[in-house]
Structure formats: C-alpha cells, structure tokens
Amino acid sequence: MSRALVSGFNQAPVTRSASLPVPLDPARLPRHVAVIMDGNGRWARQRNLPRVMGHRQGVEALKRTLRRCSDWGIGALTAYAFSTENWSRPGEEVSFLMTLFERVLQRELGALEQEQVRIRFLGDLEPLPTRLQELIAEATARTATNTGIHFNVCTNYGGRAELVRAARLLAQRVARGELDPDQIDETAFAAELHTAGEADPDLLIRTSGEQRISNFLLWQLAYAELHITEVLWPDFDEAALLAALLDYQGRQRRFGGVDPLG
C-alpha cells in the first residue's frame, strides 16, 4: 500500500482506485479474492534451492498481492497458508513453516496495523505451536477494528473439517434447546463457519496449473469464478493479479440463472 493512499484509505474510493490499472473496471471488481498459493516447492526445485526457500519467496508474493488488492479496493483476500493435510509433510518443512508464520507475524504486524488491514486466522488453531497461537491472538486483537482490507489466513484449515464443525455446533445448539432444527437454513449454517460475516469469494485464483479445489472453502466457493494460472506462487506479481482480475471481469456470472442478454 503506498503511503499516500493509506491516509485516505477508507474515506474515498476514488482515491483508492486511482492506481487501478486502466483496463480494469472499478465497478466490477471482486469484493473477495481467495488464493491457493501453490508451486513454492517447484519454484525452489527449478533453482536447485531447498523447498523452504520457495515458501520464503511465497511470503513476499503474498505481501505483494495483499498490497495490490488493498490499493485496488478489493474488500477481502483469503489465502490458504496451511491445510489440515499439510501436517503430513516432512517434519522439517512443517517446523520451518510454523517458524516462518511466527516471524512474518512479528515482523509485519506493525505495518498491518498501520495500514488498516484486519487480519484473521481461519482454521483449527489449537494444534499450532503456543507461540504462534499467542502471536495470532495478538495480531487478531490489534487489527480487529481496522477498517481496511480483510486479510484471512487459512491455517490448519480444511473445508470438510469446517463443515463438520459447523454441523456439530448447530447440533449442540439444538441439544441445548436454543435452536429448532427447522430454523437451520443456509444463513444459519454459514454463521457457524470460520468465515462467518465475510462475503463469499467472487474469485478463486490457483497458481502452478493444478486444477483442484484441495479442500479449500468448500461451502464458500459455491459460485466463485476460478482462475488457474501456470505461474508458480513465488512469481505471482502485479501482472499475474491483473490477468486474474481481467479474466474475472470477462466472465458472465449467472449464479444458476440465465444470461439476461442471451
């Protein structure tokens, strides 16, 4: 986020979109972008570097993406940082990632706070190292009232686990007599997800060419437009984000209905 824009961050959308690349239509930007940041390992392998160097560069790509999304007036960015399945990676890589998350949080919290980013971590946070849990709690609390972009970091997140958890929470409310089963509708269900209160993503970007959802936001992506790019996540830059947004703006969104012009 350029300093000049930060001061007027929440007052004037015109100022915010001033830096919007010309081909983008400011009226048709996605409100919420989700990203599956894939290809860190391959990026490192192509350079004969250890896999973890790919993750380090991946953090830089995430920072770039957050800045651009914020500068261009996108309301929320949700990134898949660590899945429930990622624990099966080699122990060294898992430890590296946990330490990397701690370092990034420590290093970037001041800037996130100042730049009005509201950060939240979505997933089952209890199995994470205690120090990381403390930093997450601090970052969440210190940015909770920030009025800029919502930055959601999915950590120890799994879409199926999230759905099971929501069903269990609803069942518990029914068992306590607080809720009638007939009152369970899509709104009530969505309110028990980690993403409660956040609009569903309009656009999902997946890097490195894989054509899978990989247990990410299974409920929330119901009507998202998918953009799959061959770019490896550490190389994801402004041009790649612009390409994704232009692809999105070229889509006819019908939400199960019909094209009004066709």
Applying CB under 6 A, among 39, 123, 148, 159 the residue interacting with ligand FPP is 39
Least distance (Å) between residue 91 CB and ligand FPP: 15
Q: Which residues from 76-105 bind ligand FPP, rule CB under 6 A?
A: 81, 86, 101, 104
Q: Which stretch binds ligand FPP (CB under 6 A): 54-62, 157-165, 190-198, 249-257?
A: 54-62
Indicate if 38 belongs to the active site: yes
The DSSP letter of residue 203 is E
Give CA angle at 193 (116, 196), nearest 5°: 40
- Tell whether residue 40 is a contact of ligand FPP (CB under 6 A): yes
| H/E element, 152 | strand 150-157
Number of residues that bind ligand FPP (CB under 6 A): 16
Task: Give the residue from 157, 170, 162, 167 showing the smallest Cα distance to 127.
Answer: 157
Distance CA 166, CA 214 (A): 19
Between the alpha carbon of residue 174 and those of residues 33, 108, 153, 178, 219, the distances in Å are 34, 42, 30, 6, 22
Distance CA 92, CA 158 (A): 22
Size of the chain, expressed as the number of residues it contains: 262
Q: Which stretch binds ligand FPP (CB under 6 A): 40-48, 175-183, 187-195, 215-223?
A: 40-48
**Cβ proximity of 233 and 37 under 8 Å:** yes
- Tell whether residue 153 is a contact of ligand FPP (CB under 6 A): yes
- Tell whether residue 55 is a contact of ligand FPP (CB under 6 A): yes
Which one, 40 or 220, has the nearer CB to ligand FPP? 40
Least distance (Å) between residue 65 CB and ligand FPP: 10
Q: Which residues bind ligand FPP (CB under 6 A)?
A: 37-42, 55, 58-59, 62, 81, 86, 101, 104, 153, 208
